[in-house]
Amino acid sequence: MLNDKKIGFAITGSFCSMDDMLDVLQQLVDACLDVYVFASEQVLTSNNRFNSAKGLKEKIEKITKHTIVTDVVGAEIFGPKIPLDAVIVFPCSSNTLAKLAYGINDNAVTMVCKSSLRNNAKIVLGIYTNDALSNSGENIMKMLNRKNYYLVPMYQDDMLNKPFSMIANKDRAVETLVAALEGRQVLPMFEGVK
């Protein structure tokens, strides 16, 4: 299903989820021929307790063999000049989720989503947020009602210490992408606790 598709893979700043992101990226590269990577600027410029910026960039480029697109101008051409069949935003932070919900376009990730939607491409969101069951819940519900948006199933990652937090199930990301290309949302979207 994926081997003839052009897929965008967009990364936002949920820094604790970069190992999950690398797993999903590797699965996609193994499953299809053409994966282009987009990242919000802070992902590749911020050293944090989980990764160095340089080390993360090297890992991503080693997997994809592509240069990472990090600006609006570089991402915009993926609508009109290099059409993508789908974009998966993994991880999708609550900040990026809110921007997409309200049509804000200010970085490579939001631009590739906006640019691809003009071609009726599918947008898959792998949401990682500490407030999915509070403030961000409203934006999650908005996206479920938008044409061409699909969510990777989520679960509560630490119910006792972070009772409002949910994260995407990385093991269902590729399944969700395939279903989105067929116009289907994978169910159940909310898997409870792991």
pLDDT per position as a tens digit, 95-125: 999 999 999 999 999 999 999 999 999 999 9
- pLDDT for 131 equals 95
Share of the chain above pLDDT 70, in %: 95
pLDDT tens digit string along 3-30?
889 999 999 976 678 889 999 999 999 9
> Which residue, among 35, 39, 51, has the nearest Cα to 12 in the 3D structure?
39
6-193 CATH? 3.40.50.1950
List all residues 6 or more positions away from 138 whose beta carbon is below 8 Å from its beta carbon: none
- Reported as a pLDDT band with limits 50, 70 and 90, residue 51 is confident
Q: pLDDT > 90: what percent of the chain?
A: 75
> Is a pLDDT exceeding 90 seen at residue 144?
yes
pTM equals: 0.94
* H helix and E strand count, the chain: 8, 8
Strand partners, 125: 89, 151
